[in-house]
């Protein structure tokens, strides 16, 4: 048999680039029997955010600076706590959960990005209650959720500033790009919120 020469190692700069890729976990919200918000013509949030997330993953891979995984790639239900658990197992550097709201009035529009923290804002609390509300989604009763938030405060408090930085960067870029299609889009800003899907993440984590 022919003896094949061993492949040449990549140049140092390419090795450094490969080792320097950020590990990105993208989380398409909802899925399966949890459809999320219902939009015009019966459009479901779970389908919209999956499409957005698959496009984002493709762009991140094409960029070359990211190793990318998704919490789901099809219309399946993934419990909320399993999403950040998957990001932790991946040793992700960034966690981005993608969601889409609906409103009765077509005049309401905008984009907002959240990081995990307590808040007194009633609209944010109501939104978080809707996102956190399904017992089947949280995988536990109310007391389990309370304990998870306490543990998250202990484990994740040092990630708050990094999460704010990530939220501001994502919000600014996403609004800028979205306005090329819809100039009237409102920039609702970056906010703190008690979103269960962000609980337990060991890396900067945001919900868009």
Angstrom distance (rounded) from CA 53 to CA 92: 16
Q: What is the pLDDT along the chain (208 residues), one digit of tens a residue?
A: 445 444 455 444 444 445 689 999 999 999 999 999 998 889 999 999 999 999 999 999 999 999 999 999 999 999 988 999 999 999 999 999 999 988 888 888 999 999 988 777 777 767 776 677 644 333 444 555 565 566 556 556 668 899 999 999 999 999 999 999 999 999 999 999 888 888 888 899 999 9
Nearest CA among 124, 106, 104 for reference residue 115: 124
Indicate whether this model's pTM tops 0.85. no
Q: What is the 3-state secondary structure (H, E, C) of 157-198?
A: HHHHHHHHHHHHHHHHHHHHHHCCCCCCCCEEEEEEECCHHH
């Amino acid at each position: 048999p022919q003896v094949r020469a061993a492949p040449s190692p990549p140049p140092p700069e390419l090795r450094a680039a490969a080792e320097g890729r950020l590990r990105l976990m993208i989380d398409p919200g909802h899925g399966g029997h949890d459809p999320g918000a219902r939009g015009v013509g019966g459009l479901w949030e779970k389908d919209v955010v999956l499409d957005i997330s698959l496009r984002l993953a493709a762009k991140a891979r094409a960029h070359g600076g990211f190793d990318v995984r998704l919490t789901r790639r099809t219309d399946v239900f993934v419990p909320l706590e399993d999403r950040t658990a998957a990001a932790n197992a991946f040793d992700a550097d960034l966690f981005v959960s993608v969601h889409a709201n609906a409103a009765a009035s077509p005049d309401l529009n905008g984009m907002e990005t959240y990081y995990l923290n307590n808040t007194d804002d009633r609209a944010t609390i109501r939104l978080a209650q809707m996102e956190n509300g399904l017992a089947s989604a949280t995988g536990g009763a109310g007391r389990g959720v309370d304990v998870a938030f306490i543990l998250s405060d202990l484990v994740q408090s040092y990630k708050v500033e990094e999460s704010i930085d990530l939220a501001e960067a994502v919000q600014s870029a996403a609004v800028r790009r979205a306005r090329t299609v819809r100039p009237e889009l409102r920039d609702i800003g970056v906010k703190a919120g008690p979103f269960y899907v962000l609980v337990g993440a060991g890396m900067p984590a945001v919900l868009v």
